[in-house]
């Protein structure tokens, strides 16, 4: 959060309004209101915009310099709010907010859909062997773990053991559930081959959902032990709350359960209908490209919807927190960073 001097200098170099619908620029703040689901949805659409993957090194430097000029109050004449919002979007998509280092492209939030879709297609391939089931579940949780680590809160040092615990827990739970369900389906003699194939296509969802919860709990368990920072309305630190940490963890876990639902449930339903069409029956080679497009569409819809369920900066009443925190502020509510 910018200090008073920074705010004053930024105001002295206010951007040109021009003929644009862009709201007045606020450094470090979301462009869209976070109190409504629609506002959060618009905000996260910006965060996951895959076009930022193709931003050149020169364009990134220009965006960072433009924001620095705004912060110092030396903004050149004619710069619009739209240009400033665009510069902030580029910086936030590519650079880690704590370390200010570039995030490896496949592990950026903007790269989650394009790099994750091939994995989703692999998870939903029909007639999988034991080896292929293990491989795709391992690859999916490996990708998730790397995305979590690359976008972690890096203000406090996190031991590598926490990352390894979360990674191993997620992989083991995902593989165990997926393999166990597949074995049960194979032994279900009452199912017709068509029904068995359909049921097998739904196996990845409970496996991935449970593994995602395990990943979140294990990788962020330290927050439950130490608590997370809670801030008053003016952004002042009130204290560190374990109760707020539990709320943050619960909200994140719910998001991770909702996220794979459309991705792993809708494509099997859609594909079971499309496979009966004359086009795909006559051209079976189109099955994989069509399934890839269906998975991409489901992924592109599910990700912003899921992470928009709760605001990243969540609010909680101080009366629900520890007594020492309630006594430390006169604010009725405080906010905390839920994380992604």
Percent of the chain with pLDDT over 90: 19
Contact status, residue 260 vs residue 208, Cβ threshold 8 Å: yes
Burial class (CB within 10 angstroms; exposed 0-12, middle 13-18, buried 19+) of 101? exposed
Question: What strands lie across the sheet with 313-317, from one edge to the other?
Answer: 237-241, 228-231, 333-337, 313-317
Percent of the chain with pLDDT over 70: 91
Average pLDDT of the residues in 94-114: 89
Ranking 89-98, 183-192, 279-288 by mean pLDDT, the lowest is 183-192
Q: How confident is the model at residue 13 (pLDDT cuts 50, 70, 90)?
A: low
pLDDT at 315: 84
The three-state (H, E, C) secondary structure of 196-263, written as one string: HHHHHHHCHHHHHHHHHHHHHHHHCHHHHHHCEEEECCCCCEEEEEHHHHHHHHHHHHHHHHHCHHHH
- The strand pair at 333-337 and 313-317 is best described as antiparallel
pLDDT at 114: 92
pLDDT at 67: 94
pLDDT at 159: 74
Label residues 35-65 b or e (16+ Cβ within 10 Å = b). eeeebbebbbebbbbbebeebeeeebeebbe
Q: How confident is the model at residue 245 (pLDDT cuts 50, 70, 90)?
A: confident
pLDDT at 17: 54
Q: Which helix (H) or strand (E) holds 335?
A: strand 333-337
Diameter of the chain measured on Cα atoms: 75
Q: How confident is the model at residue 20 (pLDDT cuts 50, 70, 90)?
A: low
**142-197, pLDDT tens digit by residue?**
888 888 788 776 666 667 777 787 788 878 887 888 788 777 777 766 777 777 77
CA atoms of 289 and 258, how far apart (whole Å): 25
């Amino acid at each position: 959060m910018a200090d008073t001097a920074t705010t004053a200098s930024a105001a002295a170099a206010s951007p040109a309004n021009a003929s644009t619908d862009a709201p007045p620029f606020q450094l470090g703040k979301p462009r869209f209101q976070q109190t409504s689901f629609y506002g959060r949805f618009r905000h996260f659409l910006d965060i996951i915009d895959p076009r930022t993957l193709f931003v050149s090194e020169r364009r990134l430097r220009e965006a960072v310099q433009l924001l620095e000029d705004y912060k110092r109050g030396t903004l050149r004449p004619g710069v619009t709010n739209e240009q400033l919002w665009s510069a902030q979007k580029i910086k936030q998509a590519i650079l880690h907010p704590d370390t200010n280092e570039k995030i490896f492209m496949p592990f950026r939030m903007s790269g989650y859909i394009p790099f994750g879709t091939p994995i989703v297609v692999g998870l939903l391939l029909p007639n999988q062997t034991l080896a292929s089931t293990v491989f795709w579940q391992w690859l999916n949780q490996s990708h998730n773990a790397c995305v979590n680590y690359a976008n972690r809160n890096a203000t406090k040092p996190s031991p590598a053991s926490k990352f390894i615990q979360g990674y191993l827990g997620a992989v083991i739970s995902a593989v165990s559930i997926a393999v166990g369900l597949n074995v049960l389906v194979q032994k279900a003699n009452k199912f017709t081959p068509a029904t068995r194939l359909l049921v097998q296509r739904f196996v990845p969802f409970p496996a991935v959902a449970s593994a995602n919860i395990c990943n979140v709990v294990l990788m962020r368990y330290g927050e439950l032990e130490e608590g997370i920072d809670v801030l008053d309305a003016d952004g002042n630190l009130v204290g560190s709350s374990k109760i707020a940490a539990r709320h943050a963890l619960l909200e994140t876990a719910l998001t991770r359960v909702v996220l794979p639902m459309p991705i792993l449930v809708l494509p099997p339903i859609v594909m079971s209908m499309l496979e009966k069409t004359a086009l795909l029956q006559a051209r079976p080679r189109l099955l994989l490209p069509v399934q890839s497009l269906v998975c991409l569409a489901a992924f592109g819809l599910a990700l912003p919807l899921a992470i928009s369920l709760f605001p990243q900066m969540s609010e909680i009443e101080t009366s629900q927190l520890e007594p020492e925190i309630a006594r430390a502020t006169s604010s009725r509510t405080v906010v905390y960073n839920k994380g992604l």
